[in-house]
Structure 1
Amino acid sequence: MTVEGGVELLPIPTPVASKFGVEIKGLDLANLSDDDFKTIEQALYEHQVVLFKNQQSLSPYHQYMLNHRFSPDSNIYGHSNNTKATASILHPDLKTLPNQPQVQLIGNGFVREYEGLQNAQLKHPHHGTFHKTAIPAAEDLAFTRFYRWHIDAALYGASMQPPKVTTLMAVKVPTGRRQTLRYDDGTGDVLDVSLGTTAFVSGEKSYEILSDADKVFARTTRVEYAPHPYIWMSQAKSLPTGLGMFSDGLELPLEKLPAITDADVQVHPMCWRNPATGKLALQIHPSAVRKLHLQDGSVIDDIAEVRERVYALLRPGIAPELVYAHDWEEGDLVLFHNRGVLHTVCGAFAPDEVRMFRQCNLADTEAPMGPEEEV
């Protein structure tokens, strides 16, 4: 499809059963007109994932400015409320670029210098540090798992609403081998993936495939997230699918968390409405959930029951035929609608396999639209 000015929108090889995603050609991301941005914005909300190829020359500043166009009232990185940051499970994965603090360097291996960052040791998230069980070490380079399905969001702080968009820029990508991704949940489900893929699923598809009864439940239930969730969950362990946590009583008690303000505890609808199309997406961060607020005013606060209900809703949406696992090439810039997809990193790297990615998202000032709101 060609739009005005010779800009092309091309399909990308996302799953036939859950078709989403588009590549855009013909735009200069460092010099976007208002009409150019409207093309990107419309594509993002209609297709959920937008790919730009060969963006090696795009600076961290212009990457940040692209995010800023979606959230013009914010210049704060989406997890910047992480007090006691070293206790957060996110702390080891992110290296802030000194010259552009809204942009993080993530990946694997030693980086001597990059954009003002000196002698950085990057550590790719590995399921062995977060899951209750792990793939045996002897199989580690051949097999992998979904690490943690999530939405990029602090999920705590009244002014730290979930970002609308995340941008990921592939700076350095190891090549030459693939891995088999295992669900390890008794189903036998597997995927063939490139090394270090980022996996996406459509929240709209996840909602669409629910039973009628589950759709009513999802539309009328609100999710309360734990305060300081990435510290709260830091001792707990994940299910092998990366779709939530085991309920072994390992979450930190509230009195051991940083100070909590009730107004900063976030409660969101299970379903978020697309601001352009009006479609509903099932958008839950399964590892951070703490309570469910039901339509009749009652609250489910038994953490095991909360997680079981959330898992039952989300697991169909991560079936192999619904997952888009992006095959990264250096220079790929991917924008994804953080309020319309869940995503996760994957992959097991050897120590000498250097992977460098730039990530940016901005905490928004507006909460996601719920099912009751009209576009």
Structure 2
Amino acid sequence: MTTLTICSKPLTQPMGSNIDFGVELTGINVESMDDDDFTILRKALYENQVVVIKNQGDLSPRGQYELTRRFDPAAGVYSHGKSIDKRSVLHADLTTIPHQPQVQVIGHGSVKEYEGLTNIQLRHPHHKTFHKEPISAEENDDFTHFYRWHIDSAMYNLDPPLVTSLLAVQVPKGRRQICRYDDGTDTTIDVPLGTTAFFSGYRLYEMLSEEEKLFVRTSKVEYAPHPYIWMSKAKSRSNGLGIVSEGLELSDEELPPFESSKIKTYPMVWKNPVTGKLAMMVYPTCVRKIHLENGEVLDNLPEIRERLYKLQRRAIDPTLIYPHDWQEGDLVLFNNHGVMHSIVGSFKDHEVRIFRQCNMAASRPPMGPDDQISA
């Protein structure tokens, strides 16, 4: 049996960080784990939410898929389904590995050949395509925004993956950027180029007042049908936390056909299946309605967005964010039902970055606050 050792050193954090999640594991061979090893890994993930495993550059796409699926053996379909509509805001960001369709290639730059793909042009999502007020072209090299704080999920028809894995194959070196919030405050955070930033839904829930906790524990959010098409003309706040309300969302008639039974309504609070802790987990860009405990349905979208923003904004304080400093061979696993994350950064044309992402639509919906943890 391979012995997993949780490093005593905390993950590299910004100055003044106050995060309480994340761990680095050593002594693990991902592709040859036995059941005892995996039990340790799973426990570490749900106790720490983000797990970093170094030096995994030799991990095959098949091995990455098998590891990710191990957290949810009944899963098997990529989180957004077998195909993504060209009208979706996600369409240009993902390239499927032909021999392992649950694994996507993401990154930036021109790649001649990789895992059966040839002459691919990767595009790191840039906030100028999505934000209401992007950073100017003159400042683009030095400054950036959080692109979109999100949960990996289709949020229609398919349930959010339990776990996402990200593998850094090729990483540009040396440059950092200042991430500006530009949200009426002068808040900034220094970040590595192309970081993936995380915040804890558990920490957010702990920060709420008792009145706010009661509201989120007893309310549910309804997501829009085909949300990434629904929002395709809308623009984001500059800190990436939700949409600016301008009435640009597509009407039901403008969307592809949808079934009411496939529209997703989830609790605002999700329970950790190992620790039982509660996390506020709401994907603000996709939300359309709020269902209250008394049966009332809130459907004024600007008011809903403002209410959610006031609840969630505290979670993206710089001291509560973990911006991972990617090194080639880093394998990062994260609890997609407990942390939210954002793409960050803007690359130059010559900077090539290759990552692999794997997640699969869950075999069950998120656990609500009243759900029982199974043995």
* TM-score tier after normalising by the smaller chain length: over 0.9
Alignment correspondent of 2:180: 182
Task: Give the gaps of 5 or more residues in structure 1.
Answer: none
1:253 — aligned with what?
A: 251
Equivalence map 1:1-375=2 (5 Å): 5-10=2-7, 11-14=10-13, 16-80=17-81, 85-157=85-157, 160-375=158-373
Distance 1:244 1:261, change over 3 A: same
The amino acid that maps onto 1:46 is E
Distance 1:24 1:191 in 2: 26
1:225-278: CA deviations, max 9, x gaps? 000000100000000010000110100111111111011000000000000000
Secondary structure in structure 1 of the residue aligned to 2:208:
coil
- Write out the 4+ residue segments of structure 1 that deviate beyond 6 Å after TM superposition: none
Q: CA deviation at 1:13?
A: 2.9
Between the aligned partners of 1:282 and 1:231, the Cα distance in structure 2 is: 25
CA displacement at 1:134 relative to structure 2: 0.8
Q: Secondary structure at the match of 1:315?
A: helix
Task: After TM superposition, give the deviation of residue 68 of structure 1 in Å.
Answer: 0.9
Q: Secondary structure at the match of 2:146?
A: coil
Aligned-partner Cα distance in 2 for 1:81–1:31: 28
- Amino acid aligned to 1:128: K
Q: Deviations over 1:87-109 (max 9, x none)?
A: 10001000001111100000110
In the alignment, the residues of structure 1 paired with residue 99 and residue 113 of structure 2 have an alpha-carbon distance, to the nearest angstrom, of 13
Contact 2:242 2:305 in 1 (8 A): yes
Conserved 8 A contact 2:3-2:37: no
Instruction: Give the conservation status (yes or no) of the 8 Å contact 2:269–2:278.
Output: yes
Instruction: Return the offset for 1:169.
Output: 0.3
Distance in 1 between residues matched to 2:160 and 2:6, nearest whole Å: 27
Distance 2:342 2:34 in 1: 32
Cα distance in 1 between the residues matched to 2:24 and 2:127: 30
Distance between the aligned counterparts of 1:245 and 1:214, measured in 2? 22
Contact 1:14 / 1:21 at 8 angstroms: preserved in 2?
no
The RMSD of aligned alpha carbons is 1.1
Q: Is the 8 A contact 1:82 1:228 kept in 2?
A: no
In structure 2, how many angstroms separate the alpha carbons of the residues matched to 1:52 and 1:190?
28
- State the 1:18 CA deviation: 2.3
Q: Residues 82-128 of structure 1: CA distance to partner in whole angstroms, max 9, x if unpaired?
A: 55x11100010000011111000001100111000111100100010
Q: Name structure 2 gaps, 5 residues minimum.
A: none
Q: TM-score, normalised by structure 1?
A: 0.97
User: The residue matched to 2:203 in structure 1 has which SS?
Assistant: helix
SS of 1:86's partner is coil
What secondary structure is seen at the aligned counterpart in 2 of 1:64? helix
Q: Distance between the aligned counterparts of 1:5 and 1:242, measured in 2?
A: 41
TM-score by length of 2: 0.97
